């Protein structure tokens, strides 16, 4: 932190140039700020869902009697575990075991892809659509918007995987992996709340 230098200290100490070296940490700061902001949009959707649901006379559209929860539960387990494999990947990156890092990284990506696949299977088997009242609307809005984040996370991971082959990249203070993993944990936490709201909360 540039601001912490003492006022009495004479100034010949080289001014921390705001060059490339510093930029990585700015990136992480900026990214965390962005994620905090992003979480509010989910908060808005969650509260919208809760308000609409609490005020509804008939929540479920005719012919629909609730959501099947087994498949989504498996999905949940996969997504939560993928956060763990990601932690492992980061751990090996710290130990400079790059191939182990890549291995667990790809495993995490695969689990993310599986989650999306499970989601797609679930969607295709549902008897209601986006326009089936507020139930259908909020269901697809929440899962769809979250799914978009999962897809983004997988893309980011792919990018980081590619960048891991650039020689010496981590020595320059590259923090993309850290940012991606923060994002992934964020997506994970959001899903847990979503799962509770959509599947666990019964009338």
Partner 1 sequence: MTSTSLSPEPPGSWRRYFGFSTDAKVIGIQYIVVAFFFFLVGGLLAMIIRGELITPASDLVDRTVYNGLYTMHGTIMLFLFIFPVLNGLNNLLIPTMIGAPDMAFPRLNTAAFWLVPVFGTLLIASFFVPSGPATSGWWSYPPVSLQNPSGYLISGEFLWVLAVALSGISSIMGAVNFVTTIIRMRAPGMTWFRMPVFCWTALAAQSLQLIGLPALTGGALMLLFDLVAGTSFYRPEGGGDPVLYQHFFWFYSHPAVYVIILPVFGIFSELFPVYSRKPLFGYVYVALASFIIVGLGLIVWVHHMFPSGVAQWMRNLFMVTTMLIAVPTGVKVFAWLGTMWGGKIRLTTPMLFCIGGLFNFVFAGITGIMLATVPVDIHVSNTYFVVGHFHYVIYGAAVMGIFAAIYHWFPKFTGRMPYEGLGKLHFLLTFVGANLNFLPMHPLGLMGMPRRVSSYDTEFAFWNVLASLGAFLLGVSIIPFLLNMISSWVRGPRAPHNPWNAIGLEWLLPSPPPEDNFGEHVPTVISRPYGYGSGEPLVENQAQIERALTLAEATR
Token readout for 170 is 């981590």
Answer yes or no whether residue 203 interacts with partner 1 by CB under 8 A. Answer: no
C-alpha separations of 56 from 46, 48, 53 in Å: 15, 12, 5
Helices (H) and strands (E) in the chain, counts: 5, 0
**What is the pattern of x (binds partner 1, CB under 8 A) and - over residues 6-35?**
xx-xxx---xxxxx--xx-xxx-xx--xx-
Answer yes or no whether residue 5 interacts with partner 1 by CB under 8 A. Answer: yes
Residue 190: CB minimum distance to partner 1, A: 13
Binds partner 1 by CB under 8 A, chosen from 21, 66, 77, 130: 130
Answer yes or no whether residue 94 interacts with partner 1 by CB under 8 A. Answer: no
Interface size with partner 1, residues (CB under 8 A): 48
Binds partner 1 by CB under 8 A, chosen from 103, 118, 137, 173: 137
C-alpha separations of 103 from 9, 97, 110, 111 in Å: 48, 10, 11, 12
Q: How far apart are the first and last CA of the chain?
A: 52
Binds partner 1 by CB under 8 A, chosen from 21, 24, 43, 70: 43
Burial environment of residue 118 by CB neighbours within 10 A (0 to 12, 13 to 18, 19 or more)? middle
**What is the pattern of x (binds partner 1, CB under 8 A) and - over residues 47-66?**
-x--xx--xxxx--------
Round to whole Å and give the CA distance between 186 and 83. Answer: 10
Contact positions vs partner 1 (CB under 8 A): 1-7, 9-11, 15-19, 22-23, 25-27, 29-30, 33-34, 36-41, 43-45, 48, 51-52, 55-58, 130-131, 133-134, 136-138, 141
């Amino acid at each position: 932190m540039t601001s912490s230098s003492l006022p009495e200290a004479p100034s010949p100490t080289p001014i921390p140039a705001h060059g490339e070296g510093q930029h990585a940490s700015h990136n992480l700061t900026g990214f965390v700020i962005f994620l905090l902001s992003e979480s509010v949009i989910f908060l808005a959707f969650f509260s919208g869902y809760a308000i609409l649901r609490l005020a509804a006379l008939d929540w479920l559209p005719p012919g629909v009697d609730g959501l099947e929860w087994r498949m989504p539960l498996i999905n949940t387990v996969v997504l939560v575990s993928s956060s763990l494999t990601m932690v492992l990947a980061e751990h090996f990156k710290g130990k400079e075991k790059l191939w182990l890092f890549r291995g667990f990284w790809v495993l995490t990506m695969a689990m993310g892809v599986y989650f999306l696949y499970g989601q797609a299977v679930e969607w295709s088997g549902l008897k209601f659509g986006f326009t089936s009242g507020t139930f259908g609307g909020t269901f697809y809005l929440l899962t769809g918007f979250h799914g978009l984040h999962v897809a983004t996370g997988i893309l980011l991971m792919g990018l980081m995987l590619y960048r891991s082959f650039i020689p010496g990249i981590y020595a320059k203070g590259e923090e993309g992996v850290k940012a991606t993993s923060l994002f992934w944990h964020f997506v994970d936490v959001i899903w847990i709340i979503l799962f509770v709201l959509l599947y666990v909360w019964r009338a």
